[in-house]
Chains A and B, each alone.
Chain A
Amino acid sequence: MRTTYFQQDVLLIILCPIVGFLIQAFLGGIAKKKLGPSSTRNLFGFMAVLAVAVPFVVTLRVLTNFGPVSSPLVVPLAPWIDLNSFRAPFEFLIDPLSLTMLLVITGIGSLIHLYAIGYMAKDKDFTRFFTYMNLFIAAMTILVLANNLVLLFVGWEGVGLCSYLLIGFWYKDKANTIAANKAFIVNRIGDFGFMIGLFLLYCLMSSKAHRHTRFLSYDVLRTSIETFHNHPAIVTGICLLLFVGACGKSAQFPLYFWLPDAMAGPTPVSALIHAATMVTAGVFLLNRLSFLFVFSPVACGVVAIVGAFTALFAAVIAFGQTDIKKVLAYSTVSQLGFMFVACGAGGFSAGIFHVVTHAFFKALLFLGSGAVIYAMAHNQDMRNYGKLSKYLPITFICMLIAFLAISGIPPFAGFYSKEAIIGDAIGNQVFGGSGINLVTVAGYTALFAALLTGFYMARLTWLTFLGKEERWRSISTDHSHHAEAVPTPALEVQDAFGFFASEPLQLEEEDHEELTADHNPKEVPLIMSLPLVVLAIGSIAAGFLLNGKLVNWLQESVQTLPFHEVSWVTPAGITAGVLGILVGIAVYFQGLPQKEGWDIGKWSRFRVWAGSQFGYDKAVTGGACASGNDIANFLSSQFERWIIEGVLGGIARTAKRIGDLIKTTQTGFARLYAAVILCGVIGLVGWIFISVRGGF
Chain B
Amino acid sequence: MTGVPLIGYLALSILMFCIGAVGVVIRRNPIVIFMCIELMLNAANLAFLSFARYQPWKPAVGQIPTVNAYDVRGQVMVVFVMAVAAAEVAVGLGILMAIFRLRDRVDVDDLNTLSG
1/0 per position for A657-670, CB-CB distance to B under 8 A?
A: 00000111111111
Q: Taking the complex as formed, is A678 at the interface, i.e. its CB lies under 8 A from any CB of chain B? A: yes
Contact of A674 among B24, B112, B115 (CB under 8 A): B24
Is there contact, CB below 8 Å, between A671 and B109? yes
Among A663, A669, A670, A675, the one with the most B-chain Cβ atoms within 10 Å of its Cβ is: A670
Closest to B37 in A: A674
**What are 14 residue pairs bridging A and B, where the CB atoms are less than 8 Å apart in the complex?**
A662-B116, A664-B116, A666-B116, A667-B115, A668-B113, A668-B115, A668-B116, A671-B25, A671-B26, A671-B28, A671-B108, A675-B25, A678-B21, A678-B24
- Residue numbers in A under 8 Å from B4 (CB-CB): none
Interface members, chain A 579-606 (any B CB < 8 Å): none
In the complex the two chains form, what is the Cα distance from A662 to B116 in whole Å? 9
In the complex the two chains form, what is the Cα distance from A668 to B111 in whole Å? 7
Nearest-Cβ distance from residue B98 to partner chain A, whole angstroms: 16
A670-B111, A671-B109 known; A678+B116 contact, CB < 8 A: no
- Residue numbers in B under 8 Å from A670 (CB-CB): 108-109, 111-112
Closest to A665 in B: B116
In the complex the two chains form, what is the Cα distance from A668 to B115 in whole Å? 4
Is there contact, CB below 8 Å, between A671 and B115? no
Interface members, chain B 88-116 (any A CB < 8 Å): 108-109, 111-116
- Residue numbers in A under 8 Å from B25 (CB-CB): 671, 674-675, 678
1/0 per position for A638-679, CB-CB distance to B under 8 A?
A: 000000000000000000000000111111111100110010
- Residue numbers in A under 8 Å from B26 (CB-CB): 671
- Residue numbers in B under 8 Å from A665 (CB-CB): 116
Is there contact, CB below 8 Å, between A663 and B24? no
Nearest-Cβ distance from residue A633 to partner chain B, whole angstroms: 42
Is there contact, CB below 8 Å, between A663 and B116? yes
In the complex the two chains form, what is the Cα distance from A239 to B27 in whole Å? 90
In the complex the two chains form, what is the Cα distance from A669 to B114 in whole Å? 9
In the complex the two chains form, what is the Cα distance from A596 to B47 in whole Å? 111
1/0 per position for B24-46, CB-CB distance to A under 8 A?
A: 11101000000000000000000
Contact of B115 among A666, A675, A678 (CB under 8 A): A666
Closest to B113 in A: A668
Nearest-Cβ distance from residue A10 to partner chain B, whole angstroms: 72
Is there contact, CB below 8 Å, between B28 and A668? no
Binding site for A on B (CB under 8 A): 21, 24-26, 28, 108-109, 111-116
- Residue numbers in B under 8 Å from A666 (CB-CB): 114-116
In the complex the two chains form, what is the Cα distance from A667 to B111 in whole Å? 11
Q: How many residues of A contact B (CB 8 A)?
A: 13
In the complex the two chains form, what is the Cα distance from A665 to B111 in whole Å? 16
In the complex the two chains form, what is the Cα distance from A675 to B108 in whole Å? 14
Contact of B112 among A664, A667, A675 (CB under 8 A): A667
- Residue numbers in A under 8 Å from B115 (CB-CB): 666-669
1/0 per position for A121-152, CB-CB distance to B under 8 A?
A: 00000000000000000000000000000000
In the complex the two chains form, what is the Cα distance from A447 to B28 in whole Å? 105
Closest to A681 in B: B21
Closest to A660 in B: B116
Nearest-Cβ distance from residue B50 to partner chain A, whole angstroms: 18
In the complex the two chains form, what is the Cα distance from A675 to B36 in whole Å? 13
- Residue numbers in B under 8 Å from A675 (CB-CB): 25
- Residue numbers in B under 8 Å from A669 (CB-CB): 108-109, 112, 115
- Residue numbers in A under 8 Å from B24 (CB-CB): 671, 674, 678
In the complex the two chains form, what is the Cα distance from A674 to B37 in whole Å? 11
- Residue numbers in B under 8 Å from A678 (CB-CB): 21, 24-25
In the complex the two chains form, what is the Cα distance from A40 to B54 in whole Å? 92
Nearest-Cβ distance from residue B30 to partner chain A, whole angstroms: 9
Nearest-Cβ distance from residue A108 to partner chain B, whole angstroms: 75
In the complex the two chains form, what is the Cα distance from A549 to B109 in whole Å? 102
Among B25, B111, B113, the one with the most A-chain Cβ atoms within 10 Å of its Cβ is: B25
Nearest-Cβ distance from residue A523 to partner chain B, whole angstroms: 83
Closest to A664 in B: B116
Among A664, A666, A667, A671, the one with the most B-chain Cβ atoms within 10 Å of its Cβ is: A671
Is there contact, CB below 8 Å, between A668 and B112? yes
Closest to B26 in A: A671
- Residue numbers in A under 8 Å from B113 (CB-CB): 668
Nearest-Cβ distance from residue A460 to partner chain B, whole angstroms: 80
In the complex the two chains form, what is the Cα distance from A675 to B22 in whole Å? 9
In the complex the two chains form, what is the Cα distance from A666 to B114 in whole Å? 8
Which 9 pairs from chain A and chain B are nearest by CB? A668-B115, A668-B112, A666-B116, A663-B116, A675-B25, A670-B108, A674-B24, A668-B114, A678-B21
- Residue numbers in A under 8 Å from B109 (CB-CB): 669-671
13 more A-B residue pairs beyond the given contacts A668-B113, A668-B115, A671-B24, with a C-beta to C-beta distance below 8 A: A665-B116, A666-B114, A667-B112, A667-B116, A668-B111, A669-B108, A669-B115, A670-B108, A670-B111, A671-B28, A671-B109, A674-B25, A675-B25
In the complex the two chains form, what is the Cα distance from A675 to B115 in whole Å? 16
- Residue numbers in B under 8 Å from A662 (CB-CB): 116
Nearest-Cβ distance from residue B20 to partner chain A, whole angstroms: 10
- Residue numbers in A under 8 Å from B114 (CB-CB): 666, 668
- Residue numbers in A under 8 Å from B28 (CB-CB): 671
Nearest-Cβ distance from residue B2 to partner chain A, whole angstroms: 30
- Residue numbers in A under 8 Å from B21 (CB-CB): 678
Nearest-Cβ distance from residue B36 to partner chain A, whole angstroms: 10
In the complex the two chains form, what is the Cα distance from A173 to B116 in whole Å? 55
Nearest-Cβ distance from residue A487 to partner chain B, whole angstroms: 63
